[in-house]
Amino acid sequence: MDNFIVSARKYRPVIFETVVGQQHITNTLKNAIKNNQLAQAFLFCGPRGVGKTTCARILAKTINCTDLQPNGEACGVCDSCKSFQNGNSFNIHELDAASNNSVDDIRSLIEQVRIPPQGARYKVYIIDEVHMLSQAAFNAFLKTLEEPPHYAIFILATTEKHKILPTILSRCQIFDFNRIRVDDMATHLASIAEKESISYETDGLHIIAQKADGGLRDALSMFDQIVSFSDGKVTYRSVIDNLNILDYDYYFNITDCLLKEDTAKTLLFFDEILTKGFDGAHFISGLSEHFRNLLVGKDTSTLKLLEVSEGIKTKYLQQSQASSVSFLLSAMNIANQCDLNYKLSKNQRLQVELALLKMCNLLAVFNLATTPLTVMSDDGQLKKKPDTPAVAPIKEGKITDEVSIVADTQAPYVTTQTQPVNPPDEPEKKAIAATIVAEKPKVFIPNSNASTSVKIPSLKDINKISDAAPVEDDPYIKGSAKEDFTFDDFLKLWNTHAATIKAEGKMSLFTIFISEVPKMLSPNIFEIVVENKVQENLFKNEKPALLNYLRSSLKNFTIDVNPRVEEQVVVKRPYTSQEKFQYMAAKNPELIELRKRFNLDFD
């Protein structure tokens, strides 16, 4: 029985052309080799499984190849290439800095650098996980890294570039490796499956590539695992069952329920997901990604951002046409807030269910916001309010005003609604009111094509209305309304108004009314004592309503009630040793002389 070799080792690239997803680096290295412009030190950095060590080995093999190809690749048949492939090359050394990170290890490396290569042009040192070197080891390595012998080349590889000293970085050519795209990984997995005579589904390979998160080594490990699990048949169902991935169909079905406002089915789907062992946080993050894909699928220019197979992409395109942008943005916002609050919630399931219920009612909110209101006609029938505001002249003896609402696709803007008002019966006012044209209140909306304007009455019309109103109709300016009253009458009305405030639920204001009895400063002027500025502001806000009630009830319009903040003297108690000494010295001054004579300290 042959020994099994995992795909990550069996199909490790041996030339630059077979490296997946790093063409910007491989092309640069090949051009440097062809033009003989090799640096003395390289730094390969990037996430795990993207080809750093692989590219370092290919570079070390290619620069020592005795029969270099015209395209800059190694021949693979010369003695140097064969010795490297067999693992017995004396000119290429690999060092694991995770286990050899001391100063002595670096000193031993420096001693080896002094020995020239045997039967090759360069002597290459590949140091993996170089960020694990100690501070002293980095310092010992500086001089050799900056000015090595002409035949020595150092290739450093790391996943954590930020941990490397700036003095090391300045001595290297830095190559940043990218995460491998999902399409590139899926294509590479398909080629391996064909070489191994393994049947596969494209959707399944895309799921593996997405789960790998940019690392090809992780994708190959999962590929081997699924091949063993499914007996050589990599299908979409076998992938999601083995890797514990939530099926796309759940997200599509739940989105359909949200668009249909079917709360029952939505909650049942979520319960089924929990029953299968999936976490609520995993579901809500996947739902956010699903909404993002739907939003991306609404524009043909952003379709390339969908990293899914063609079959799944078709489903996204179909469902994106049935979803509005406003719904997707609002649903993404709700899902994002749920994801942020999930770990802090004591009832995590309820947190997700509440987010789903909010999403189910989004379309109802949008429809309510964009539906025109109905108004009552003169014959008592309900009719649909016109979409555009119109000018409504005032009828004789009746002033009417309607609600004007303008809504766009994002949010409604509603103006203030006023009730019908009956004007005075004086003939002068009737004549003036009949000539005034009332216009619906309008709201300015940004980016609106329709221009809006508000008719402002002229000063002449205002003066006519003011002159037409008789002075004696205003009870607040009557000169004779100064009847006498007793303090008991005042207190009785004061307590009645306090009971009204309590019934309205204004408990903070109610406390002010019952905590202190008002003081009479003069026959018609009173004062109420409050504790702080907050209570003073509360009372000032209530003062107009209070004075209106007192003046009209007592028929005296010179009554006034003013608040006054009572300053409280805060007595500071001694706390520190110095404060205690000063407190005692104030009572007994001889303590100061005693402290000076014996040079005493407070502690």
Round to whole Å and give the CA distance between 300 and 294. Answer: 12
For residue 44, the model assigns a pLDDT of 92
Q: Does domain 248-368 have CATH number 2.40.10.10?
A: no
Rounded distance between C-alpha atoms, residue 430 and residue 488, angstroms: 45
Cα–Cα distance for residue pair 177/21, rounded to 1 Å:
9
413 class by beta-carbon count within 10 Å (0-12 exposed, 13-18 middle, 19+ buried): middle
Q: Please state, in angstroms and rounded to a whole number, the distance separating the CA atoms of residues 235 and 220.
A: 15
Mean pLDDT by 10 residues, the chain (603 residues): 77 87 89 87 90 90 86 84 83 86 88 85 89 89 88 91 89 90 89 88 87 87 87 85 84 91 90 88 90 87 80 85 88 91 88 91 73 51 48 41 38 40 48 44 43 48 50 44 81 88 84 84 86 84 88 86 74 75 84 82 71
Quick one: pLDDT at residue 355?
A: 92
Amino acid sitting at position 65: C
CATH class of 7-176: alpha beta
User: Could you read off the pLDDT of 46-88 as tens digits, one per residue?
Assistant: 888 888 889 999 998 888 888 888 888 888 888 888 888 887 8
For 290, what's the count of Cα atoms within 13 Å in the CB-facing half-sphere? 23
| Phi, psi at 80, each rounded to 5° | -65, -45
Q: Which of 67, 70, 55, 64 is closest to 15 using CA atoms? A: 55
* CATH 3.30.300.180, domain 487-565, yes or no: yes
Q: What would you measure as the largest C-alpha separation in the chain, in angstroms?
A: 123
CB-neighbour burial class of residue 300 (10 A; exposed 0-12, middle 13-18, buried 19+): exposed
Ordered DSSP codes for 349-382:
HHHHHHHHHHHHTHHHHHHHHHSPPEEE-TTS-E
Tell me what pLDDT residue 386 has.
Answer: 53
Tokens 């209070």 belong to which residue?
A: 546
d(CA 155, CA 166): 17
pLDDT for 473: 44
With tokens 């700036």, the residue in question is 166
User: CA-based Rg of the chain, rounded to a whole angstrom?
Assistant: 42
DSSP, collapsed to helix, strand or coil, labels residue 155 as: strand
For residue 98, the tally of other CB atoms under 10 A from its CB is 12
Strand partners, 234: 200
| DSSP for residue 18 | G
Which residue pairs from 496-501 have beta carbons closer than 8 angstroms and sit at least 24 positions apart in sequence? 497/546, 497/549, 497/550, 501/542
Q: What is the pLDDT of residues 176-206, one digit of tens each?
A: 998 888 888 888 999 988 888 888 888 888 8
Beta bridge partners of 561: 526
Q: What is the reported pLDDT for 476? A: 44
Alpha helices in 477-589 (DSSP H): 487-503, 507-515, 533-554, 577-587
Helix (H) or strand (E) holding 250: helix 248-260
Question: Which residues of the chain does CATH 3.30.300.180 include?
Answer: 487-565
**Helix/strand/coil (H, E, C) string of 424-484?**
CCCHHHHHHHHCCCCECCCCCCCCCCCCCCCCCCCHHHHHHHHHHCCHHHCHHHCCCCECC
Length of the chain: 603
Does domain 182-242 correspond to CATH entry 1.10.8.60?
A: yes
Query: What residues does CATH 3.40.50.300 cover in the chain?
Result: 7-176
CATH 1.20.272.10 residue ranges of the chain are: 248-368
* Beta-carbon count within 10 A of 488 CB: 8
User: What residues contact 148, with CB distance under 8 A and at least 6 apart?
Assistant: 40, 41, 113, 154
The answer to whether 80 and 120 are in contact (CB under 8 A) is: yes
Would the pTM count as exceeding 0.85?
no
8 A C-beta contact, residue 247 and residue 315: no
Position 257, amino acid = C
Rounded-to-integer distance, Cα 208 and Cα 198, Å: 15
Give the count of beta carbons closer than 10 Å to the beta carbon of residue 272.
12
Is-contact 142 171, C-beta < 8 A? yes
From-to residues of CATH 1.10.8.60 in the chain:
182-242
At 412 the pLDDT is: 39
